[in-house]
Structures are given as C-alpha cells and as structure tokens.
Amino acid sequence: MAKQVSRNPVQSVGIFTKPHRSDDIRHILETLLPWLEKKGIAYYLDMEGSKTFPAITGWKKEDIVHQSDLLLVLGGDGTLLAAARVVGEHQLGHTKSIQPPPILGINLGNLGFLTEVQTSEIFDVLTRVLQGHYTTEERLMLMTRIIRHGQSITESHVLNDVVINQGSKARLVEFDIYMDSLFVTSLKGDGVIFSTPTGSTAYNLSAGGPIVYPEMEGIIMTPICPHTLTHRPLLLPDKIRLEILIKKGDSVIVTFDGQVDFPLVAGDLVEITRSPAMTTLVVSPDRNYFEVLRDKLKWGDRYQS
C-alpha cells in the first residue's frame, strides 16, 4: 500500500521536462525556479529544459538522478516513463542497494495516469513534499534481455510494458512462449504485450487486457489480435522468467515503454523477468487510484445525445 511517512526535508530537486513543449515548460519554470531559490532548494534542470533558459546550465539526466533528493517531471506519462528508466539504470549501476529518488509527476499531457498532479496544484503539493510529508508508492519494473545466437545483445528496464509486434508490415508474428522453461503456448497474431500492473491502463487496456491495481505484483500477458480467438490475457506471478522465441515474421520489433524500439529476427529469444530496480512515485494523498480511474476513464458518466 501507499506509504505516508515523514522524511528528511528535501534539499535538492531534479527537473525532467517534456521535449517540444517549450512554451508550457517556460511558463512553469519562470515561476518555479525563483520559488525554489527563495526556499533555498538546489535544483538541477535537464538539457531539454535549459533550452528555454539559456542562462541556466543544463544537466545530463544521469547526473541529475545522482544529485537529487526528489525528481520533478514536467510532462505527460511518457516523460515520466523515460525518467523511470533513467532512475532504474542508476539503481542498477551501483554495487550496493540504494534508495532511488522518488518521482513527482506534473501533468502536461493528456490522460496522466502517472503524472496525476495538475499544474494548478504544483506549489501546494511541493510545499508539503519539500517538508518531507508525502505519500509514495513503489512500482515494480520489468527487465528484458534480447538473446541472439546465445549472446545477450541488449537489455532494458521498463515501468509500463514490453511489446513484441510487427513493425511496418501487416503480417502475422509467430512465436513460442515459455515460463520457467515450461512451454506455455504458440501464438500467431499481431503481437503480444507484457505489462506491469502500472502499465495495465496503457496499451494493455486498449488491447483488451485487465486493469490491475498498480501495487500488485505480477506480469500481464495480453495477445494482440491473436489468430486463434481462444487466446486470452493471462496474469502471471512476478517471480517467473518468461522466454519468447521468435519463429517467424518480417520486421518484428520489441518496444520498451512505447518509446524505444529494437529489431528482432527469427531465432531471437526475448527474456522477461522482474527487474531488481523499482520506481518510487510520489502520489497525491488527496486522490486515490479509483478516483483517477473514474476521472480518466469517465466511469459512471452518462452520455447525452
């Protein structure tokens, strides 16, 4: 469950910004940066954000994570997903277990399942957070390795999902799926989604997969337009190892969090396990998950003609 605790006051804030939204970002930063300075809070702005303020030095995202007590994401869910991957890599880059900085998302996008704080709430929420009074939730991540000819050729950690599907060609993908070396099924179709509970309201939901409470621990497997209509979404334990053997398909790709693509060929093995990294999100104490669902998915609304 969400943890409401009192922590040490925040002394430094890292700021990740959404690319290509310079007007919105500038409008927020013109007020936010002087506000932080007045409170004696050090801040580290990413390279993209610094383009709107040339006088301020931009920082690499990896260095920002190392310097910050809190990460402030100005953007949509996609911006937060990218930040979560950077934080995850930072955790895994240390030989000893470290406590990653929590992420507070400010919604400049559309749905905002992850970036649930609205721009009008920034300073009220930040005031409480900087004093160390805030609620957090830990979300599991997935680790994916691509194995080709017995060698691992790439690795990625995601907060939302791993998707295997056809690239630009409308042809079937064919692959075998194994769980802890046990054969699960052969699947033909447009592809398959492996989602975390956090990502259950993303592509997984659009493909007919279930909504899973985000603090649950599990992996959701959802076929995309399967050739055999009896294939249905499957909820699996988080401590398993999934292996997907690509058997047939031209231009097959694996996509991490809907943002990073990697091409696959027949014979490739995609290995998916729970990542040792975790994402810690700052959540609003005044808004629970079901309120977010009702708001974003319009549950209970009646359509008027």
Paired tokens of 111: 């749905």
Q: How far is CA 101 from CA 5, 35, 163, 243, 280, in A?
A: 15, 21, 27, 31, 7
Amino acid at 89: E
Check 46, 69, 77, 161 and give the catalytic one.
77
The sign of the torsion formed by the CA atoms of 258, 117, 284, 211 equals: negative
Annotated active-site residue 261? The verdict is no
Question: Could you give the CA distance from residue 182 to residue 193 in angstroms, rounded to a whole number?
Answer: 19
**How far apart (Å, rounded) are the C-alpha atoms in residues 73 and 86?**
12
d(Cα 275, Cα 125) in Å, to the nearest integer?
30
Helix (H, G, I), strand (E, B) or coil at 128: helix
- Pick the closest to residue 115 from 279, 277, 298, 270 (CA basis): 279
Residues 6+ apart with CB under 8 A from 287: 116
Matching residue, tokens 């406590």: 99
Identity of the amino acid at 8:
N
In whole angstroms, give the CA distance from residue 67 to residue 265. 40
Report, as residue numbers or ranges, the catalytic residues: 77
